[in-house]
Amino acid sequence: MKNFWQKLKKPILCLAPMADVTDCAFRQIIAKYGKPDIFWTEFVSADGLAHSIAREKLLIDLKYGENERPIVAQVFGSNVENIRTASALCREFGFDGIDINMGCPDKAVEKQCSGAAMIKNPKLAREVIRAAIESGGGLPISVKTRIGYNPPTPKSFGRASKNENYLLDEEWIKTLLGENLAALTVHLRTRKEMSDVPAHWDLMKRIVEIRDEMGVDTLILGNGDIVSTDDARRKCLETGCDGVMLGRAIFGNPWLFAKHTSPQPSPYKGEGVKHKLEVMVEHTKLFEKMLGGPPAGGKNFATMKKHYKAYVNGFDGAKELRMKLMETENASQVEEIVREFIAL
């Protein structure tokens, strides 16, 4: 099976997986208006996928379209056997790669010794990666993580705290790079920092140096506080990383990657508020069709509403329009309210 990572042109710009945001409906909108180099699914529990009853409820998070390729399934889990099962399923479902989340700070995820908790258990992390490689049937395996778990204090770290790299857990990065990964994405904050401080992009050069010193071929991607594709390109040039993962910048802006990957002009014609609202309605209809209730799988319509805060912003009447949209229960109501607003 071919490793799609090796065919990508640098810099690699991709969309970050975000729970209850980058679902298949939103990815379809992005694929149409500005496709990134790679798509990820929302992360899915390997434990759930390994059990037939729970699996049925999770399959909705693994829906994708052929126009999303290359598409990577992201999973999390600490049970090695369940990782094997989940990896085999991802191959069976036709994904182009498997990514293991070792950076999520959610307490419920960490209680399962998964996500960022893996940073504190490198031995288990190695076992999980090897299980995915062995059962993935040749699919390239990648990991998304953070620079470390706890920011060290000057008292505990001594003089080394004056070193610009003191926040970086180099041993953790070396552990991951020693496992034959196709790619490693590093969110440039510690787990304890959450997203409460600026991302430490000054540490990326050292991460790249570690990779080069080890002589491995793993691609290095950075994540955190990237506001545009131009900003992403600058970060790659400045730090030497192979690519960047953009997350929050996509909210309300499905055209984010348009100039990066498409030789053709984006379908977005710059028609301002009217066109943006029309795309929001298109997105809502697609969400309802693909994800909204039985038999599609049943995601709550409220999940869609977080997008309205981003789409409906920065123009006269936006606040009042948002308030109306927050009261809606289906796509028809959203379309009617938007039509009335555009007609004003």
Cis? peptide before 70, omega within 30° of 0: yes
CA distance 187 to 193: 11
- Determine contact, residues 242/232, Cβ cutoff 8 Å: no
List strand residue ranges (DSSP E) for 149-261, in order.
183-190, 219-223, 243-246
- Of the residues 14, 90, 104, 241, only one is catalytic, namely 104
Element (H, E) at 281: helix 273-291
**Other CB atoms within 10 Å distance of the CB of residue 108:** 9
**Nearest-5° angle of CA 314, CA 249, CA 31?**
105
149 neighbors 169 (Cβ within 8 angstroms) = yes
Token pair for 236: 């790659």
**CA distance linking residue 31 with residue 344, whole number of Å:** 31
d(CA 284, CA 254): 13
φ/ψ (deg, to 5) at 335: -60, -40
Euclidean distance between CA atoms 166 and 153, whole angstroms: 9
Backbone angles phi, psi at 38, to 5 degrees: -145, 145
113 a catalytic residue:
no
Instruction: List active site positions.
Output: 104
